[in-house]
Structure 1
Amino acid sequence: MKRLTVKTSVAALSLSLVFGGMSAYAFDDVTLDTQVQMLQSLRDQGIVKGVSSNKFNPAGTLSEAQGIQMIVNAFDLSAGNETTEPGNPKWYHAAYDAAMAEGLSIPEMRDAEEALTREVFANLLFEGINTTGEYPVILLYNHIEDEQEIRPEYTSSIQNLLNMKVISLDDKEQFRPRDTLTRMEAAEMVYEAREFIDRYGKGGSSDETPGTVPGSGQQAMVPEVSSQTIDEKTVKVKISLELPNPGYGLEIKDVELSKNGKAIIKYEIIQPDPNKMYPQVITERSAETNIPSGYTPEVAPFS
């Protein structure tokens, strides 16, 4: 697993061009104590700077180049042999090279000055976290009021970040995926991402949290149950579950018939092959079994 350190290589110069001068004290335009402390921490680690010696401009928008630079700095990404553009290099070329070398999904139609949207930055952030190792993630599908506005290729990243507590929804349970990202929003997301890595990465706890994956016998979601009468003696039961990617499976391991008329269906989430790569697309898995008529189906994790 990659150790995160203060960024000193790929874009030390370009960071100063992205965020301007740095103040040794709190920014005049940031007064909330939690935000002041957060920015102080990120600045000390070389991840963000102000637009001037005493201004951060928290409500200002973040450009594509600035956002990619933040991701590169936050996760200490290394530049490979990629070349983004021929000719004289611009301040952000090194960051693009590093992001490309690590396999991040930088926008196909690149525009360094284009304002980043919340969904694009969230996807880059999740991919950045994944460059540092594998982490336990709760298998929980979060209701997002404006989910229909999220592009399908970003849905899984946003769901995972919500489960990691790296991002959150607003008071209307919306994510506002197409809104442009502010500098403060980006800083808060990056800060929470690094806090998550500190908790569960190298040097943090390696214990699996109950109800998380990877790991065997850890079930975080309860499958949906449906039933269909086959004949007077038999009922077919189907259990269904949405999982983070196509590598996961769902199996019925046992059925216990209780004296109180319940059929306890024991299920297990099958883990992905660790030697294969899977697209981060939420995938529905299902399994079926038959139970005697007169029993009420219920589900429970297999152990």
Structure 2
Amino acid sequence: MKSRIGKSIILLALIAVVSMAIGGSVFAGQGNSKATNKKEITTAQAVSAIVKGLGLNIDHIRFIKEPKASDFYSKVQDNAPYAGDFIVANFNGLDLPKDINPSAKVTREQFAKWLYGALSQKGEYAWIEIFLEISDAKHITNGYMDSIQKLLIANIFTLDSKQRFHPKNGVTQAQADVVIARTVKFIRENAPIEEPKPSILSNASLSTEKITDDVLKVTVTATVPHSGYGMEITGISFEKGEAIIHLRAVLPDPDKMYPQALRDVSVSTYISAKLTPVLGDEQPAAPFPG
């Protein structure tokens, strides 16, 4: 009996030793990771994190010659591993100064401003009209507050328990990863506002001519970008004594070249003399009838 108890004690002791060894190795690894994450990142690391984290690119831009970092920044070397990210940043709203130092430490307010600039390139979002109180607002650089406010409203950045933002503090890799992940989540969950397309028909006006006591000729005139564009009436709706005339532009022949000179186009229709003609909203343009 004593022999069995002795073996059991030895076995438990071995298990305890192994468990401590395994546990120690796990926590040691976490400690090293935390040490890395607590290290403040540089401007170059911040720019690369935003560019890569938000999937920014310049694929939509055609260049006459290959762009170089030195075309836009005085302290970014063309052969630096992060040079490409700085080029992308230049065309994606980060608004980096020309003399930016890639090796300098990045502050929370800088990171917020660049991150919001990149977010704005993803679309126009609806923001609630509130202004959050920040107890250390006096330390925020002029021109940075709007970006910080928007990111606080979106819960991408947060204040501490005393409502401080700590704008001059550095940014660690862990902090950068968190706010970028929140930004990606915000983009995924919030559809941007669709911007109205600019009108092709500008300065639209109408004039009338009495044909008979019962019939009016209505002529609509509008300005188009060049002679390739046309205009047509898509329909007339009637409401409370009004004849609402609906218009749309007709796009130019895509296989032809036109001199870029504004011109006026006109189109006419006939309505009852008892009605008052008014212009309706411009309808989506029609393709060239080719």
TM-score, with length taken from structure 1: 0.48
Higher gyration radius (CA): 2
